[in-house]
Amino acid sequence: MANTGGGLTTGGAMRCPLRTLSRLLLLGMLLAAGLTGCATRTWNTRIKPVGVEDRYEFKTRFPHVPRDTFVVLAFSGGGTRAAAFSYGVLEKLRDTEVWAGGQQTPLLSLVDVITSVSGGSYTAAYYGLFGDRIFRDFRSRFLYRNWQGALLGLLARPDHVMSIASAHYNRSDLVAAYLNRTLFAGKTFADMSPAGLPMIILNASDLNNATTFSFIQQQFDFLCSDLSTYPVANAVMASSAVPGPFAPMALRNYPDCPQRHQPWVAQSLAHDDLLDRRYAVARALSRYDDPLQMPILRLVDGGVTDNLGVRGSMMSPVAQYGDVPDMAGAFTPEQLRRVRHVLVIVANAQVYAPYAWSLEGRAPGLTDTLRASFDASLGILNTETVSLAKNGFLMWAQHVNAMRLPGEPRVKVDFAVLTFNQITDPAERQRFNAMPTTFHLHPRQVDALRALAGQLLSQSPEFQSFLREMQRDEH
C-alpha cells in the first residue's frame, strides 16, 4: 500500500508521464543511433595527499564550541511531497525559539546534522548551501515549479537526445548538469555547510554492494577520492535517481591511497561475525580495495536501502570511524561530555494510497504486482529503520550515561517521527495520502504540506518534551 519513491512519479494517477518519458527516451535512442554526443560526465576527482585535503566531515563542519544540545533532522524520499514536508519542518524550527546560552534563539540555529534521501535531499542541500535564503526563494525556484515538466522537456531536446545516447553520459548526468546550472549555482561540497549551518549528509544507494552510500569524506576515502570538488547537484541527483526513470550515477574508484586503510575495517573483518553490522559494512568497503575488480560505482535513489536516511548515515560505522557507541566521527571527548539534550526529528513523507486493482476487486497485472511488492518492501524497511534508529540513539545515550560520574547530568533523547498516519481526521489523512510521488504538485498542495509539518511537530510529545527540558534548564 505504501508509495515511498523519491523521484519521478511511480503512482497510479501519474503513470502517463512515465510512459511519455519512456517513449521520449526510446525515440532519442533511435534518432541518435550512430551519432556521438558532445556532453561529458563530471567525474569525482582523486584524493589529495594526507594533510592537505579539504575534508567534508564532522570535524570540519560540526560546531567547534561544545554545547549541551545535539539536534538531528532526517528527511525522507517522496519527490516534491517530501521536499515540501521537510521545508515545513525547517519553517517550524525557524519560528520556534528556545533558551540556549542564556538567550532566546531559533531552534533551527541549533540543528547540527541534516541527513536526507531523494526528494528530501533537495531541501537539505539547498539549506546547507544557502542557509536562510531558502525561506526567500526555494518555494518559487523549486517547490512551486513544475520540475517534472522541465525534466521531460530537457530530455526531449534533440541535442540532449544525442548526448544521452553515449555510453559515457546518461539521462541522470544530463539532469544533474541542469540542476547544477539552475538550482545549485555550480556549488561543490567545499561550499557545503559553512560556519553556522548544519552538516548535510546526502544519501544514495550503492548498487555494487546493496548498501547506503553517504556523501561524506569518510565514504569517499574508500574510493581514494576527494568529495570537496564534487558538485552538490550530482549528489542530489544520485540520491533521487529512481531506478528505471533515471540511470545510475557513476563514481570512479581510484587506485590505492593511505586514507583507504582504516584500522576498524581490518579489525571488523578479523572478528568475522556475520551478525555484526560493523562486519557487514567492513566487508562491503573491502570490495572497493581493488579498482580493477570494481572500477566504477553505480549509485541510485537512497530510498532503495534507507528511505529515511538516518540509520545508514548517522548510525553508520563509516560516518563514525567504526566507533558508533561514542559517535567518534561527530564528537570529541569534550563535546561528548557536554551533551545533555538530544532531539531527532524524522520527517517521513511516505504515503499509503489504495491501489486501483484493490479497490475494484480485480487481479493485479504484472506491473501492479511488481509495484505493490516494491512498495511493501520499502514500507517494511521504513518501519524497521525507524525502530532501529531510535533504539540506536537510545543505546548510545545509555552508553554515554554509563561513562558519566554520579551526580553528572544525563543524556536524554527525544525521538520524534512525523508521518501522515498521525493526521486524526480521516478525510484529511486520505487527502495527503493521495498526493503523488512526483516533482510537480499544485502550490496549494505544497502549502498544505508545509503547514502539516508544523502542526505535527506541535502535536509531537517528543518535540514538546525537548522544549520543556530546554526551558527548565534555563530557569
- For residue 446, the model assigns a pLDDT of 98
Supply 6's cell numbers: 523519491
Range from 22-26, 53-57, 229-233, 255-259 that averages highest in pLDDT:
229-233
Of 351, 308, 312, 317, give the one whose Cα is nearest residue 124: 308
Lowest mean pLDDT among 116-120, 270-274, 463-467: 270-274
Q: How far apart are CA 436 and CA 431, in angstroms?
A: 11
What percent of the chain has pLDDT above 70?
85
Angle of CA points 90, 8, 154, to nearest 5°: 105
234, 176 Cβ separation under 8 angstroms: yes
- For residue 18, the model assigns a pLDDT of 52
| Mean pLDDT of the 450-471 span | 97
| Mean pLDDT of the 50-59 span | 82
- In order, the DSSP letters of 148-189 are HHHHHHHHHSHHHHHHTTSTT--HHHHHHHHHHHHTSTT-BT
Q: How far apart are CA 185 and CA 170, in angstroms?
A: 21
Q: How far apart are CA 338 and CA 126, in angstroms?
A: 30
197, 124 Cβ separation under 8 angstroms: no
Stretch (H or E) spanning 450: helix 443-459
Is it the case that residue 252 has pLDDT exceeding 80?
A: yes
| Mean pLDDT of the 91-103 span | 92
| Mean pLDDT of the 88-102 span | 94
Is it the case that residue 434 has pLDDT exceeding 70?
A: yes
Q: How far apart are CA 374 and CA 385, in angstroms?
A: 16
Is it the case that residue 108 has pLDDT exceeding 50?
A: yes
Q: How far apart are CA 146 and CA 195, in angstroms?
A: 33
Question: Residue 6 — very low, low, confident or very high, per pLDDT cuts 50/70/90?
Answer: very low
Query: Per residue in 366-406, pLDDT tens?
Result: 877 767 676 666 666 677 788 888 888 999 999 999 999 99
Which position has the grid cell 535531499? 121
Supply 94's cell numbers: 525557524
Angle of CA points 377, 387, 314, to nearest 5°: 95
Supply 27's cell numbers: 525515440
Sign (positive or negative) of CA dihedral 294, 295, 298, 299: positive
Question: Residue 14 — very low, low, confident or very high, per pLDDT cuts 50/70/90?
Answer: very low
Question: Residue 93 — very low, low, confident or very high, per pLDDT cuts 50/70/90?
Answer: very high
**CB proximity list for 377: less than 8 A, separation 6 or greater:** none
Length of the chain: 475
**Which has more pLDDT, 195 or 135?**
135
Question: Residue 9 — very low, low, confident or very high, per pLDDT cuts 50/70/90?
Answer: very low
**Which has more pLDDT, 165 or 101?**
101
**Which has more pLDDT, 385 or 115?**
115
Please, what CATH class does the domain formed by 68-473 belong to? Answer: alpha beta
- For residue 172, the model assigns a pLDDT of 92
Q: How far apart are CA 402 and CA 390, in angstroms?
A: 18
Is it the case that residue 11 has pLDDT exceeding 50?
A: no
Lowest mean pLDDT among 32-41, 125-134, 323-332, 414-423: 32-41
Bridge partner residues of 257 (DSSP): none
Range from 80-84, 241-245, 284-288, 433-437 that averages highest in pLDDT:
80-84
- What's the predicted TM-score (pTM) here? 0.89
| Mean pLDDT of the 307-332 span | 84
Instruction: Report helix, strand and coil shares of the chain as percent, to nearest 5.
Output: 50, 15, 35
Q: How far apart are CA 350 and CA 433, in angstroms?
A: 8
What percent of the chain has pLDDT above 90?
59
How do the domains of the chain map onto residue ranges? 68-473
Farthest CA pair distance, the chain: 75
Sign (positive or negative) of CA dihedral 395, 399, 402, 404: negative
Per the prediction, the chain carries an average pLDDT of 87
| Mean pLDDT of the 300-317 span | 84
82, 351, 301, 166: CA torsion to nearest 10: -90
- For residue 215, the model assigns a pLDDT of 98
Which position has the grid cell 516494491? 374
